[in-house]
Amino acid sequence: MKPRASEFAILGVLSLRPASGYDIKRFVASSIGHFWNESYGSIYPLLKKLANEKLIQVQKGPQSGRERMAYAITPKGETALRDWLSTLPRTEPFRSELLLKLFFAWRTPMDISVAQIEERKREEERRLPIYAQIKDQLSRQHADHPELPYWLMTVSYGRHRSEAVVEWCNETLSSLAKLQKTSKKERGAK
Amino acid sequence: MKPRASEFAILGVLSLRPASGYDIKRFVASSIGHFWNESYGSIYPLLKKLANEKLIQVQKGPQSGRERMAYAITPKGETALRDWLSTLPRTEPFRSELLLKLFFAWRTPMDISVAQIEERKREEERRLPIYAQIKDQLSRQHADHPELPYWLMTVSYGRHRSEAVVEWCNETLSSLAKLQKTSKKERGAK
DNA sequence: AAACCCATGTAATAGGTTACATGATTTG
DNA sequence: CAAATCATGTAACCTATTACATGGGTTT
């Protein structure tokens, strides 16, 4: 009942083409970096584990002085990947430090909350053009490839997500502004 | 540079009122459960740690046979909490198993992806009335309390988030349906 | 030759979940 | 009196990040 999502992320990358640990790290960052990440600290140990389980195999070891491994997925690995892809994903646990701070913020100065939300808003606004960019790039580089529609769907998720956060930020900032006015008025009335 | 968000979540709850580990678990689940969670496995050890650091103190030990602790925040704890609330939250790492599966799904049967997305859609649709319910409940129970607006902001985040996911699900389901048609037509043309 | 990228890997640490053990009290 | 709920706590495990160590190759 283990999820082992990181292992299958690696296996998934290797199902596209053989690659080294370094390659995997870079591919993940550039293609699914907006909803997934892997660090070297997981990749290299997991590559050895996957090789032990015969889901992948070394295609090329280090030849010259410079070390460079290339791993390729095995038929057994393809099967394991397809099985994993077919199971329902776990409901993703969601934890937001921003919301935690906001929940307990009512006795702290309001401009701190405002600054935190504005910062978050900027982050998400910075992401929006990046999604558009990834979309264009993919559409050109993978035109007519069968994976393109699927890849675009994941990019679209990012866009929806960021847009929703920006909307919430705007709504919340105006709520805070109203709250500010109200409390000033109340202090004035006393 | 440690985040220690769980510790401050606990400290935050204790800033509202003294409570036991059991109380904390239940309060978290009922109030911030849609964006935060704590397990007993963290709560009890962290309570001891916080007590060691004099950020909280035991208010009541077990009196009768039945054990029941009550912890209260100390002035030092209030200061630590306020300091933590004032710092910018870390950008939240986002990992989606659903998107990972979708990204690699182009060689697996399409109805599997459809089922996964429909399941996710149902989950989010189930949440929507719950947000409305929490909102009503809070508005009644905490009317005129200064924390109410802040609490409602966090609930609103959940609503925005779930709505965005449902939208994406609908969009993606119709993309998949189109894709299905196209590939059928292509097979027919051959 | 310095700086930078390529490339692999490990150790320490962090941060958490799950399952289990234990037992009191309340409720049907 | 059985079942549910209240209540605390630990041990085992898992998963992942960070920082570090190491060194080859390339560019300026």
Q: Give the nearest nucleotide to B24, CA to C1'.
A: D7
Rounded distance, CA B4 to CA A7, Å?
28
Q: Are residues B9 and B81 in the same domain?
A: yes
Q: Which residues contact B155 (CB under 8 A, 6 or more apart)?
A: B34, B131, B134, B135, B138
Q: Are residues A105 and A180 in the same domain?
A: yes
User: Of B17, B50, B85, which residue sits at a domain end?
Assistant: B85
Q: Are residues B127 and B66 in the same domain?
A: no
pLDDT at A92 exceeding the cut of 90: no
Q: Is residue A63 part of a domain?
A: yes
pLDDT band at A105 (very low <50, low <70, confident <90, very high): very high
Q: Are residues A29 and A73 in the same domain?
A: yes
Mean pLDDT of chain A: 93
User: Of B85, B112, B135, which residue sits at a domain end?
Assistant: B85
Strands B56-60 and B70-73: antiparallel
CATH (domain of B57) = 1.10.10.10
Q: Are residues A12 and A70 in the same domain?
A: yes
User: Of B24, B54, B85, which residue sits at a domain end?
Assistant: B85
Q: Are residues B103 and B74 in the same domain?
A: no
CA distances in angstroms from A22 to A68, A106, B122, listed in the order given: 9, 46, 38
Q: Are residues B122 and B145 in the same domain?
A: yes
pLDDT at B102: 98
pLDDT at B137 exceeding the cut of 70: yes
Q: Give the nearest nucleotide to A23, CA to C1'.
A: C7
Structural domain count, chain A: 2
Q: Is residue A90 part of a domain?
A: no
CB A122 within 8 A of CB B63: no
pLDDT at A66: 67
Domain residues for A39?
A: 5-85
The residue among B154, B125, B126 whose CA lies nearest residue B138 is B154
pLDDT in tens, B82-106: 999 999 999 888 999 999 999 999 9
pLDDT at B1 exceeding the cut of 60: no
CB within 8 Å: A97 and B164: no
Q: Are residues B71 and B51 in the same domain?
A: yes
Q: Is residue A41 part of a domain?
A: yes
pLDDT in tens, A130-144: 999 999 988 998 998
Q: Are residues A67 and A118 in the same domain?
A: no
Which residues in range 166-185 of chain B are in contact with strand C, contact meaning CB within 7 A of any of its atoms? Answer: none
Q: Which residues contact B34 (CB under 8 A, 6 or more apart)?
A: A94, B127, B130, B131, B134, B154, B155, B158
Q: Is residue B91 part of a domain?
A: no
pLDDT in tens, B44-60: 999 999 999 999 999 87
Indicate the DSSP class of residue B64. Answer: S
Q: Are residues A113 and A148 in the same domain?
A: yes
pLDDT at B66 exceeding the cut of 90: no
Chain B: residue whose CA lies nearest to A167: B160
Q: Is residue A171 part of a domain?
A: yes
Q: Are residues A36 and A15 in the same domain?
A: yes
Determine if strand C comes within 7 Å of the CB of A60: no
For chain B, positions 1-30, list CB contacts with chain A under 8 A: 3, 5, 8-9, 12, 15
Q: Are residues B81 and B147 in the same domain?
A: no
